[in-house]
């Protein structure tokens, strides 16, 4: 057991504790948290003196490609996009993640302890993404959910027919039409309205994965590329099929913030610090996360690693402070909010008994650009130490 004593504790789910203690069990879970007056360390606990420091939850990124695009290697070595066909729901990120990617080590240095990583946006339906810890003795040890969400991507697709057995849609409306066609077919299979003798084994496997989204077993993770009309199309589609879903990137989300708040669909914004180097970035606005937060949208910040290196997640959150959020509100965008969006807030995202002991020890509030991360624990194990 361990007991971290004396730090200011930013629980996220509750008011900060000015001088507190966090007790961690041998199972890597938080056993208790409170003020030093209320909670006493167990007699056999290892005492870690963190007086004068700040403890916050491990940071959570709900949208990255860490481990699929190896750090320091060209995109041609990545496994993030497969052009086999425009619809490939049966592909699984877990079958291609490199646990030795240096990006995991760098993520820890930035306080990031839990990430979603998955397929990119080349396909209308790209495959199943996974949720991982950024530290572990093996890939198996890092896994939180090996199958967490089915990646879908709206927006026009570039011409890739020469690599595919099936043509890709070339317009925004064509992409949505393809998506709806496959979901309608998967629903027909579930309802026994499809003649299974007329579909091959691969197509049946693909439809069964989509069926898991229809049942709520997988999150629908919908990537947007160009403009607010894709946000509107996503909301219509999610409501049509009653899906558990997130809408990702959401450039232009501030223009429809009231509608998003009313829909109660979580959004994963970003990256907010990105240049408008192409037409599909014309609605990028780093004020958007703060505007949506104030409207009541469950909003998170993403790195889209390697677009922005994973270790800079907290720097992206700091941008929202410049745009009106408090440091503690900005911290929600990279801890509890993404945990809720990915349906793992029972495990991570705040400092509460029963959750994973993923903790960041820093000399100041972790969202402050001037702060230094001094220690990171993952499931109670010291995974990074600056000393």
Is residue 29 a part of any domain in this protein? no
First CA to last CA distance, the chain: 22
Identify the pLDDT of residue 74: 67
Is residue 387 in a domain? no
Q: Is the confidence at residue 154, as pLDDT, over 70? A: yes
Q: Which domain holds residue 278?
A: 58-349
Nearest alpha carbon to residue 222 among 284, 184, 180 = 180
81 contacts 119 by C-beta, under 8 angstroms = yes
CATH of the domain at 65: 3.20.20.140
Asked if the structure places residue 112 within a domain, the reply is yes
User: 50-54, 92-96, 133-137, 170-174 — which is least confidently predicted?
Assistant: 170-174
Confidence of residue 252 (pLDDT cuts 50, 70, 90): very high
pLDDT of 185 above 90: yes
Please check the confidence at residue 98 and state whether its pLDDT lies above 60. Answer: yes
CB count within 10 Å of CB 235 equals 19
pLDDT (tens digit per residue) in 1-48: 999 999 999 999 999 999 999 999 999 999 999 999 999 999 999 999
Q: For residue 301, what pLDDT is reported?
A: 98
Specify the pLDDT at position 75.
64
Q: Phi and psi for 11 in degrees, rounded to 5? A: -70, -30
Gap between the Cα atoms of 256 and 261, Å rounded: 9
Integer angstrom CA distances of residue 110 from 19, 54, 96, 176, 379 = 24, 15, 24, 37, 17
286-338 pLDDT per residue, tens: 999 999 999 999 999 999 999 999 999 999 999 999 999 999 999 999 999 99
| Distance of alpha carbon 230 from alpha carbon 249, whole angstroms | 11
Percent of the chain with pLDDT strictly greater than 90: 87
- Name the range with the highest mean pLDDT among 165-179, 191-205, 206-220: 206-220
Tens of pLDDT, residues 224-235: 987 899 999 999
Cβ partners under 8 Å of residue 85, min gap 6: 123, 164, 165, 166
Residues 254-295 have pLDDT tens digits of 999 999 999 999 999 999 988 888 777 889 999 999 999 999
Residue 161 in this model has a pLDDT that exceeds 70 = no
What is the Cα–Cα distance from 129 to 79, expressed in whole angstroms? 12
What is the band of 76 on the pLDDT scale with cuts at 50, 70, 90? low
Residue 364 falls within a domain, yes or no? no
Domain-located, residue 125: yes
pLDDT in tens, 192-209: 999 988 899 999 999 999
pLDDT at 162 over 80: no
Give the pLDDT score at 276.
85
User: How many domains does the chain fold into?
Assistant: 1
- Using pLDDT thresholds of 50, 70 and 90, give the confidence band for residue 84: confident
The tokens for 341 are 């969006």
* Percent share of the chain, pLDDT over 70: 98
Question: Tokens 């439809």 identify what position?
Answer: 207
Q: What is the 3-state secondary structure (H, E, C) of the chain?
A: CEEEEEEEECCCCCCCEEEEEEEECCCCEEEEEEECCCCCCCCCCEEEECCCCEEEECEEEEEECCCCCCCCCCHHHCCCCCCCCCECCCCEHHHCCCCCCHHHHHHHHCCEEEEEECCCCCCCEEEEEEEEECCCCCHHHHEEEEEEEEEEECCCCCCCHHHCCCCCCCCHHHHHHHHHHHHHHHHHHHCCCCCHHHCCHHHHHHHHHHHHHHCCCCEEEEECCCCHHHHHHHHHHHHHHCCCEEEEECCCHHHHHHHHHHHCCCEEECCCCCCCCCHHHCCCCCCHHHHHHHHCCCEEECCCCCCCCHHHHHHHHHHHHHCCCCHHHHHHCCCHHHHHHCCCCCCCCCCCCCCECCEEEECCCCCCCCCCEEEEEECCEEEEECC
pLDDT band, residue 133 (cuts 50/70/90): very high
Mean pLDDT of the chain: 94
Provide the pLDDT for residue 160: 56
Check whether 249 has a pLDDT greater than 60: yes
What is the reported pLDDT for 116?
98
Q: Is 94 within a domain?
A: yes
Spatial contact of 93 and 65, defined as CB atoms under 8 Å apart: no
Structure tokens at 212: 């898991």
- Whether 285 is covered by a domain: the verdict is yes
**Residue 205 domain flag:** yes
């Amino acid at each position: 057991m361990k007991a971290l004593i004396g730090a200011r504790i930013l629980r996220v789910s509750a008011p900060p504790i000015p001088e507190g203690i966090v007790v961690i069990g041998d199972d890597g879970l938080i056993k208790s948290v409170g003020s030093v007056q209320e909670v006493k360390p167990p007699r056999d606990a290892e005492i870690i003196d963190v007086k004068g420091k700040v403890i916050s939850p491990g940071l959570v990124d709900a949208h990255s490609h860490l481990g699929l695009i190896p750090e320091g290697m060209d995109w041609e070595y990545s496994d993030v996009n497969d052009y086999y066909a425009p619809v490939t729901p049966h592909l699984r990120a877990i079958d291609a993640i490199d646990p030795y990617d240096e990006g995991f080590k760098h993520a820890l240095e930035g306080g990031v302890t839990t990430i979603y990583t998955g397929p990119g946006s080349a396909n209308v339906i790209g495959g199943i993404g996974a949720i991982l810890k950024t530290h572990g003795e093996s890939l198996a040890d890092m896994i939180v959910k090996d199958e967490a969400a089915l990646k879908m991507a709206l927006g026009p697709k570039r011409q890739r027919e020469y690599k595919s057995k099936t043509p890709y849609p070339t317009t925004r409306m064509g992409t949505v039409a393809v998506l709806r066609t496959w979901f309608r077919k998967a629903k027909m299979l579930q309802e026994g309205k499809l003649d299974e003798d007329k579909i091959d084994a691969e197509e049946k496997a693909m439809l069964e994965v989509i069926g898991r989204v229809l049942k709520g077993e997988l999150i629908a993770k919908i990537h947007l590329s160009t403009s607010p009309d894709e946000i509107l199309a996503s909301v219509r589609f999610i409501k049509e099929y009653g899906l558990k879903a997130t809408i990702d990137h959401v450039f232009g989300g501030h223009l429809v913030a009231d509608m998003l708040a009313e829909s109660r669909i979580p959004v994963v914004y970003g990256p907010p610090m990105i240049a408008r180097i192409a037409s599909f970035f014309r609605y990028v606005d780093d004020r958007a996360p703060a505007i949506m937060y104030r409207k009541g949208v469950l909003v998170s910040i993403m790195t889209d690693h390697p677009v922005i290196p994973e270790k800079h997640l907290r720097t992206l959150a700091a941008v929202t402070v410049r745009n009106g959020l408090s440091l503690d509100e900005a911290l929600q965008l990279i801890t509890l909010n993404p945990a809720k969006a990915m349906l793992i807030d029972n495990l991570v995202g705040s400092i509460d008994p029963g959750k994973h002991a993923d903790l960041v020890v820093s000399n100041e509030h972790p969202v402050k650009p001037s702060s230094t991360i001094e220690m990171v624990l993952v499931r109670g194990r010291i995974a990074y130490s600056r000393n």
